[in-house]
Amino acid sequence: MQTRKLGKSNLEVSAIGLGCMGMSFSYGPPKDKQEMTSLLRAAVDRGVTFFDTAEVYGPFSNEELVGEALAPFRGKVVIATKFGFDLSGSDNRPGVAGVNSRPEHIRQAVEGSLKRLKVDTIDLLYQHRVDPNVPIEDVAGAVKELIQAGKVKHFGLSEAGAKTIRRANAVQPITALQSEYSLWTRTPEKEVIPTLEELGIGLVPYSPLGKGFLTGAMNETTKFESTDFRSGLPRFTPEALKANQALIDLLGTVAQRKKATPAQIALAWLLAQKPWIVPIPGTTKLNRLEENIGAAVVELTTDDLRDIAAAASKIKVEGARYPEKLERMTGL
């Protein structure tokens, strides 16, 4: 597996990471712990060194799973986790209790994450969502203190806008921004990616396969369980799934030419955008893990990229990616 550096930091990780959320959260009931432990270790065996979790995934159970599964590989893998949701209420779903990035809450969250991950230092700590009630300078300052105390190595933001990134970076240099970015969510291209390039910050696209849509495994007849959070997303209604099939047709055409799969083309496209972009597709299946890793060796030429850009510019993606309440949880 090739490696990449996140921005101008010295954080070097596998070109494709593994998003662990779906193993315990959001995509239906939690998966079997033993099976997921085997999958995480299989990822390490295949060269993946970058794993993504968060305290809210579960809540807490995903960090425990990742911490236990990766304990034998301390020092050989990079684990990123996130703070920023208020989990004190009885209903712990993200967005229900709201955000909380008060400095004392960050310190408390980090102590919990260190225990669950079974580590002395968190490799990369993200603010999960921007908290409108706490100045971003206070958030960055709190993480800076944690870095000085040796509890955190690198600071990241998630779903933050260009102004927020600049303000935070002035207090504590940011190593990576995690945001949704893929062929069907290209919002970061306008302001965020130029800002990251200027400041030397890496980009970690989550949902790089459009929450599964860009694999080509869905159509308008696809049904989602009520425990699957896609059941409530505007972009996963039957009408939107049908309208957005044009993107799959585009990926399929290129995939055929490259002897690859639509998912591999979607990931290879991201890798070709910038050398400091590291996507973190999530999966709970070994065959999908291997397919995703295989994207790292798919070479897209300048002509391929031009063809994809031209075809994609004619496709209007239908449906908002999130309901309005969740969409508002971003920084300017």
Alpha-carbon distance 83 to 100, whole Å?
8
Alpha-carbon distance 247 to 101, whole Å?
37
Q: Give the pLDDT confidence score for residue 93 in this predicted structure.
A: 56
C-alpha distance from residue 115 to each of 4, 63, 65, 109 (Å): 28, 9, 12, 10
* H helix or E strand, kind and range, residue 192: helix 192-199
Each of the 332 residues of the chain gets a pLDDT tens digit; together they read 999 999 899 899 999 999 999 999 888 889 999 999 999 999 999 999 999 999 999 999 999 999 999 999 999 999 999 999 998 765 555 445 689 999 999 999 999 999 999 999 999 999 999 999 999 999 999 999 999 999 999 999 999 999 999 999 999 999 999 999 999 999 999 999 999 999 999 999 999 999 999 999 999 999 999 889 999 999 999 999 999 999 999 999 999 999 999 999 999 999 999 999 999 999 999 999 999 999 999 999 999 999 999 999 999 999 999 888 777 776 67
Tell me: cis bond preceding 59? Omega within 30 of 0 counts.
Answer: yes
CATH code of the region 3-213+270-298: 3.20.20.100
DSSP per-residue letters across 66-106 = HHHHTGGGTTTSEEEEEE-B---SS--STTTS-B---HHHH
Nearest CA among 135, 168, 159, 137 for reference residue 329: 159
Q: Would you give the distance in Å from CA 119 to the centre of its chain?
A: 21
Alpha-carbon distance 199 to 173, whole Å?
9
- Torsion-angle region of 28 (φ positive above 0: left; ψ -120 to 50: alpha; else: beta): left
- Phi/psi of residue 211, nearest 5 degrees: 55, 35
Among residues 57, 181, 206, 322, the one annotated as catalytic is: 57
Q: Give the pLDDT confidence score for residue 91 in this predicted structure.
A: 57
The residues near 127 (Cβ < 8 Å, ≥ 6 apart) are 82, 83, 84, 101, 139, 143, 156, 157, 158, 160
Q: What's the pTM value of the predicted model, to 2 decimals?
A: 0.96
Q: Give the pLDDT confidence score for residue 41 in this predicted structure.
A: 98
The number of beta carbons lying within 10 Å of the beta carbon of residue 326 is: 17
Q: Give the pLDDT confidence score for residue 44 in this predicted structure.
A: 98
Alpha-carbon distance 117 to 127, whole Å?
17
Looking at residue 40, its amino acid is L
Partners of 5 in the β-ladder: 12
- Phi/psi of residue 300, nearest 5 degrees: -100, 120
The residues near 82 (Cβ < 8 Å, ≥ 6 apart) are 53, 54, 55, 56, 125, 126, 127, 128, 158, 178
The residues near 260 (Cβ < 8 Å, ≥ 6 apart) are 254, 268, 294, 295, 298
Partners of 179 in the β-ladder: 205
Q: Which two tokens stand for residue 50?
A: 């970058």
- 181 catalytic residue (yes or no): no
